[in-house]
Amino acid sequence: MKPFVPKFVWFDGKFVTNDEAKVPVMTHAIHYGTSVFEGLRGYWNSKNLYIFRLQDHIKRFRNSGKVYSVSLRFTDKQIADAIIGLCKKNNVRESCYIRPFYFVGQYGINLHVTESSPTHAAVVIFPFGDLFNKNGIRAGISSWRRIHDISTPPLAKMGGNYLNSILATQECKRNGYDEAILLDYQGNISEAPGENIFILRDKKLLTPSSSSSALEGITKYSVIEIARDLGYETIERDIPRTEIYFSDEVFLTGTAAEITPIVSVDGKMIGDGKVGKITQKIQNMYLEIAMGRNKRYSRWITSVY
């Protein structure tokens, strides 16, 4: 099957061609980063396309905008219908990434954004495979610290927040790593530029909490539930930088990254330098669920066709 090239996008309530979806250069979000976004995956299992945790993503989508008084002028059902409808409109029959977003439109250079400020909403979709090598990546701890609630709320998925992630990513690439790990203001492990992080010590999973500026990741909390059903406890707590070097396994979680093993940090080998057994179990179960092959978790997936 030839890769599909999405012809249509959803923009302000209508399906239009990509060329027809235009915004003026005075769009506020271009100047100040006043945009809200989400990332979802669609999984094609040769029979149907399944969207992973659609309603949970939409809930966070709306909540992120509330922090900055940026209004989403469509109901949750309208956004869900737009996402499903766009998959159908583009006849998507391969795994894909779905990006809904909304943003402040023409508003001059006024920084006083309110619920009545003009906004636009859109959804785009494109083919997507593995973001990282599922056999393991090498990570480096960045000198850049993760944004903190005292200055820029990290729990809101705002476009402007990810400038912090861009700096960390640029640094790690210059240093020869595949991905960065950011510390919080106190020097504890926070997260990667676009992923949550888990470490395994003594058969217990540890992951930073939101107090360490870690995003409340939908994939993260999916993994906590999966791990529990596999018999592994997860503890959310502060993780000092040094502790990651003592870990038996390390992996990242996120919509784009899914479950990505880390085999070394700062050049120090994690475990035996290969994908850990528990990481592999979680990887396999996550994919089964996303592909619609595990009835126990059927509440997490939405079929398109």
Q: Which active-site residues does the annotation give? A: 157
Q: 195-224: b or e for each residue (b if 16 or more CB lie within 10 Å)?
A: bbbbbbeeeebbbbeeebbbbebbbbbbbb
